[in-house]
Structure 1
Amino acid sequence: MLNNFFDKLKSGLSKTRNNLTDKVNELFKLAITIDEDLYEELEEILITSDIGMETTENIIEKLKDKIRQEKISDPEALMPCLKEVIREMMDENALEEEDSFPKVSLIIGVNGVGKTTSIGKIAFRYKNEGKKVILAAGDTFRAAAIDQLEIWGDRAGVQLVKHQEGSDPAAVVYDAIQAAKARKADILICDTAGRLHNKKNLMNELSKINKIIDREFSEAKKETLLVLDGTTGQNAIIQAKQFMDVCPIDGIILTKLDGTAKGGVVISIKSTLNIPVKYIGVGEGVDDLQKFDSKAFADALF
C-alpha cells in the first residue's frame, strides 16, 4: 500500500521533478566549488519552481548553515543536504495529531479548485477506514455543487444532507448535524460556497455556520480545511492569505499537483503560512487524494 502511495506521489510530481530536480542535479554535478555563484544559480532554480522568494532565501540560509556545520566541501554532497533542509522545513512545528471522532470538517475554497471532488475523495477514504460519513451540501449558491456532491456521495457510498438551491447554508449544516447525531456518524464533512470576491458575505456565512456547529455539536472536534489548486503556484498563497483574513484555517488540501510543474508551492505554503498541508491530490482517481507525508514528499521530489 505504502509503495503504491509513493509510486503515485512520484509520478504525480514528475512535472515538478523535471522542472526542479533535474536542474538542481545538473547544477551540483557541474559545480567545482561551493561558492556564491552556485548559491545564486540554485536560488534562481528554486524561485522558478514556484517555491517563492521568501521561502527560497530561507532554504539557502538553512543550507549554508548545514554545510558549515557538517564541513561539506564537495558539491556532489549538496543534494542530500538540500533534501534534508526541505524535509526539516516541512516538519517544523508539525504536530502529528490523532484523528478523533466525532468530527466536523468544514471545507472552504473558491470555485474551480476541486473542492467538491476533494470532499468526495475524503469521504471515500474515511468510508474505507470503516467510518460512518455524512456530507452536508452547504454550497447552496451554485446549482451544480449540490448535484456534484450527490454524485460523489453515491460513489463513496455515504449519505448526503441537502436543501434546494438558494437556501440558507447554515440551515443545511444544522440539519446535517442532527442527522449525524441521530445516525451516530463519525465524521460530518460540510461543503461551503466558494465566493471570495464577496468577503463580507463569506465571513458572515462561515461565522454563522461555526456558531451552529459550536452550539449543536460541541462534542465534535472541528477543523476548517482550505482547498487550493496546485497549478496556480504562488497565486495559491495569495488566495490562502485572503481566506485567512476571513477565518482560522487548520489545514490545506492541495489539488491537481499531477498536472503542474509548480509542486514547489507545497514547500512555500508550509514555510510562508505555517499551516500544515493535510492532503495532496496527485491524480483523478477516487483514491488519488493522499494524506500528506513530508518525508515521502521530499523523497518523491528528489
Structure 2
Amino acid sequence: METSVFITFIVLSAVLLSLLGLFLVKGRPLSPGKRLKEFPETRDADDLPPGAPDEPDGATLVADRPEGTPTDLDVEAPEAPAETVLDTPEAAETRLARLRARLVKSNNIFSKSLLALLSQDEIDDDVWDEIEEILLSADLGADSTFELVDTLRERVKVEGSKDPARVKAILREELIELVDPEFDRSLAVDVSGRPAVVMVVGVNGVGKTTTVGKLARVMVAKDKDVLLGAADTFRAAAAEQLTTWGSRVGVPTVFSDVEGADPASVAFEAVDKATELEADVVMVDTAGRLQNKANLMDELGKVKRVIEKKSQVDEVLLVLDATTGQNGLSQAKIFSEVVDVSGIVLTKLDGTARGGIVVAIQKQLGVPVKLIGLGEGPDDLAPFDTESFVDALLEE
C-alpha cells in the first residue's frame, strides 16, 4: 500500500513539473495562449534586427528634397572615446583683451605717427597733409579721411591744446565716432523654435572654413549646440578640414562623399539635420568664389534660396582678408548684392597696419564688422568691440 502511494506521488509530481515547464521561459511567465515567436538562425545582410526602425539613423533624404540632392550625404558625429578629452574653447568675452597686444603691435606706427604730428607746437597745412597721407595709407578711405581731418583741425584750433594726452583723447573720440559704436554687432543666433542658420561666404583663400571652425568654438564657449554643414563640395579637403574642427569640440558635421555634389543640397540637408537634432545653431561653409564670376555668384544665391525652403537664414557672414585693403571693398559690395550680407568677419587684422579698413567697409556697405581674426590659433577669433579696437590703434 505504501509503495503504491509513493509511486502515485512520483507520477503526480512529474506531471505537475511538466505542466509548470509549459508556462515558464527563462523564469518569466507567458500570458495564456501566447506562443514563442521563432526567428531564423541567420538574417540576410539587408534584414533589420528585431525592433529596429524602418529607416536607419543618419542624414537620410526624402522625395521632396531639392532636385539634384546627392544620395550619400553623411553626418560625422564626433563621439570621441572615453579617454579623449574635447577642447574647452576660451570664453568669447576674454579673447579681444588677450589679442589686443597683437593689434597694438601691428598698428604701432599708425598711432605714433599721428600723435607725433598732432602734438607739434605748430600744425600747418603741410602737417595736415601728412596726417591725411597716414590715414589714407591705413585704408580709412578718402571720404572718411577728409571728414576726420576736417573735424580734427577744427577741434585742435578751437581748443588750442598741444598736450599729447588731450590730443590723443580728441583723436580717440573722433575715431570711435567713425567706427560707429551704434551698430548691432551681435550674432543673430538666439532664435526660438528652430536652429539659427548662419551662412559663411567669401572669395578663395580668405580662410572661410577655418573661420567656421573657429566660430563653432565661439558658439560652444557660449553653451550652444552646434551643427556644421560642409557645402564647399569643390575643394577636396574642405569637408575633412571642417569635420576636424568640429570633432575637437564635439560638434557634428554634415557632408557629402561625392566630389562636386550640389552645395545647395548639402546646405539644405545640414539645416534639416540640425532641426531634427534640435541644435541651437547650424553654420554652413560655402566654396570660395571670385566676385566677378557671375555663374559662381548665381550658385551662391541658389544655396541661400534652397536653405530658405527649410528655414530663414539669420546671418550671412562675409569673410574678408584685412591685408587686401581697399580691394576687399569691391568683393564686399558684390557679395552683399547677391546674398544680403549681414556682418563682416575681418581676418588677418594683426598682419597689417591698415586698421582703417573697418571704417571703410562699414561706411560703404552699412554692414558692421562683427568678428575679427587676430592670429592662427584656434581661439584667435574675437567679437569686435569698437572702443577696444580704437584703443589698440592708438596705444603706444
* TM-score, normalization by structure 1: 0.90
The equivalent of 2:217 in structure 1 is 124
Q: Is the 8 A contact 2:200 2:283 kept in 1?
A: yes
Per residue, is there more helix in 1 or in 2? 1
Correspondent of 1:72 among 155, 159, 168: 159
The range that moved more, 160-169 or 265-274, is 265-274
Regions of 4+ moved over 6 Å:
none
2:102 aligned counterpart, secondary structure: helix
Distance 1:223 1:4 in 2: 22
Correspondent of 1:27 among 104, 107, 117: 117
Distance 1:177 1:197 in 2: 26
2:140 aligned counterpart, secondary structure: coil
The equivalent of 1:245 in structure 2 is 337
The equivalent of 2:125 in structure 1 is 36
Aligned CA distance change for structure 1 residues 13 and 116 (closer, same or farther; 3 Å): farther
Distance 1:264 1:46 in 2: 7
2:314 aligned counterpart, secondary structure: strand
The equivalent of 2:51 in structure 1 is none
Unpaired stretches in structure 2, ≥5 consecutive residues: 1-90
The equivalent of 2:137 in structure 1 is 48
Quote the offset at 1:113 in angstroms.
Answer: 0.6
Quote the offset at 1:150 in angstroms.
Answer: 1.5
Cα deviations by residue, 1:154-180 (Å, 9 ceiling, x for unpaired): 223211000132000011011111110
Distance 2:104 2:209 in 1: 22
Alignment length (residue pairs): 296
Distance 1:24 1:79 in 2: 9
Q: Is the 8 A contact 1:107 1:227 kept in 2?
A: yes
Unpaired stretches in structure 1, ≥5 consecutive residues: none
The equivalent of 2:205 in structure 1 is 112
The range that moved more, 239-248 or 180-189, is 239-248
Q: Is the 8 A contact 2:200 2:319 kept in 1?
A: yes
Quote the offset at 1:99 in angstroms.
Answer: 4.2
Q: Is the 8 A contact 1:55 1:272 kept in 2?
A: no
Correspondent of 2:287 among 184, 187, 193: 193
Distance 2:94 2:246 in 1: 28
Distance 1:150 1:181 in 2: 19
Q: What does 1:1-16 correspond to in 2, within 5 Å?
A: 5-15=96-106
2:289 alignment partner AA: R
1:249 aligned counterpart, secondary structure: coil
Distance 1:272 1:19 in 2: 26
The range that moved more, 20-29 or 52-61, is 52-61
Aligned CA distance change for structure 1 residues 197 and 252 (closer, same or farther; 3 Å): closer
The range that moved more, 176-185 or 261-270, is 261-270
Identity %: 42
Quote the offset at 1:139 in angstroms.
Answer: 0.8
1:208 alignment partner AA: K
Distance 1:5 1:223 in 2: 22
The equivalent of 1:171 in structure 2 is 265
Distance 1:96 1:290 in 2: 12
Q: Is the 8 A contact 1:199 1:246 kept in 2?
A: no
The equivalent of 2:230 in structure 1 is 137
Quote the offset at 1:52 in angstroms.
Answer: 2.5
Quote the offset at 1:66 in angstroms.
Answer: 4.4
The equivalent of 2:64 in structure 1 is none
2:184 aligned counterpart, secondary structure: coil
The equivalent of 2:353 in structure 1 is 261
* TM-score, normalization by structure 2: 0.70
